[in-house]
Amino acid sequence: MIQGGLVGCPERIGAVNLFDVPSEAHTAAVDAAITSRRSMRAFLPTPVPRETVEAILRVASRAPSGTNIQPWQVHVLTGAAKERLCDRILAIYEDPDELARHEREYEYYPKEWVSPYLDRRRKVGWDLYGLLGIAKTDKAGMHAQHGRNFRFFDAPVGLIFSIDRRMQMGSWLDYGMFLQNLMVAARARGLHTCPQAAFIQFHRVIAEELAFQPGQMLVCGMALGYADPASVENSLETERAPVAEFTRFLED
């Protein structure tokens, strides 16, 4: 947990006066849950109890959404259900001819990369591969590392998120806030996550395997569990631009 867990944790939020000025300890605990969130790429096999997952999702559902439409749908995978999906996707991923038949339903990244976004993307990629000892010419090593996405990096819980495809950009903004809430609530319980856009290439397989309701569209996946502290890839800490670089204060 983050220093013994969040002060005024969400399970007790009903007993908290929401108009009180938060204590320094409360502020520090919330900040710690946010700033300690990182994408982990190696997990321990330690199970996560269902009630813990439910508690995290209950907290995450307090995310704001336009006119309270709450556009998120969550599919929680553990055990054999998770293994079946992973096996199906990996079988495709390792077959170049079959892989070529699977296209992303939507583009997560821009079609044209420009600075500073391209610079940041390259840096995080080479920082990760450097930790793993994967050289720039090692295409097989990169392929294998990317393929670990489709085992949810061995996390005991895999999450798949979907949305009604009739929803518009506003609902996708709402969804992002829900996902962030989920990741922060996980940190408050000593858990880690890795949000995964890699799954979107396999949206047809996932919709079939998980029996999506008609009209549901894949958003992304996410690994959830206890991070392996001995895995070198989990030591990666990405940089953030200073506030002055992305903020304008207009006062006059």
**What mean pLDDT comes out for the span 135-146?**
96
Is 185 or 7 the better-scoring residue by pLDDT? 185
Which residues are CB-neighbours of 12 under 8 A, at least 6 positions away? Answer: none
Which residue in this structure is represented by tokens 């439910």?
54
State pLDDT tens for residues 30-63.
999 999 999 999 999 999 999 999 999 999 999 9
**What mean pLDDT comes out for the span 83-103?**
98
Q: What is the mean pLDDT of the chain?
A: 94
Look at residue 105 and tell me whether its pLDDT is greater than 60.
yes
Does residue 213 belong to any structural domain of this protein?
yes
Does residue 139 belong to any structural domain of this protein?
no
Token output for 70: 């709450």
Does residue 6 belong to any structural domain of this protein?
no
Token output for 69: 């439409």
Instruction: Identify the pLDDT of residue 132.
Output: 97
Instruction: Identify the pLDDT of residue 8.
Output: 41
The CATH number covering residue 218 comes to 3.40.109.10
- Check: CB of residue 47 under 8 Å from CB of residue 82: no
**Whole-model pTM?**
0.92
Q: The domain containing residue 76 runs over which residues?
A: 38-107+149-236
- Check: CB of residue 42 under 8 Å from CB of residue 228: yes
- Check: CB of residue 173 under 8 Å from CB of residue 89: no
- Check: CB of residue 76 under 8 Å from CB of residue 157: yes
Does residue 13 belong to any structural domain of this protein?
no
Does residue 132 belong to any structural domain of this protein?
no
Look at residue 90 and tell me whether its pLDDT is greater than 80.
yes
Does residue 224 belong to any structural domain of this protein?
yes
Does residue 136 belong to any structural domain of this protein?
no
**Cα–Cα distance, 113 to 249 (Å, whole number):** 28
Range of lowest pLDDT (18-32, 83-97, 177-191):
18-32
Q: What's the structural domain count of the chain?
A: 1
**What mean pLDDT comes out for the span 6-21?**
57
pLDDT band of 2, cuts 50, 70, 90? low
Instruction: Identify the pLDDT of residue 14.
Output: 45
**What mean pLDDT comes out for the span 123-141?**
96
Reduced to 3 states, what is the DSSP secondary structure of residue 37?
coil
Does residue 202 belong to any structural domain of this protein?
yes
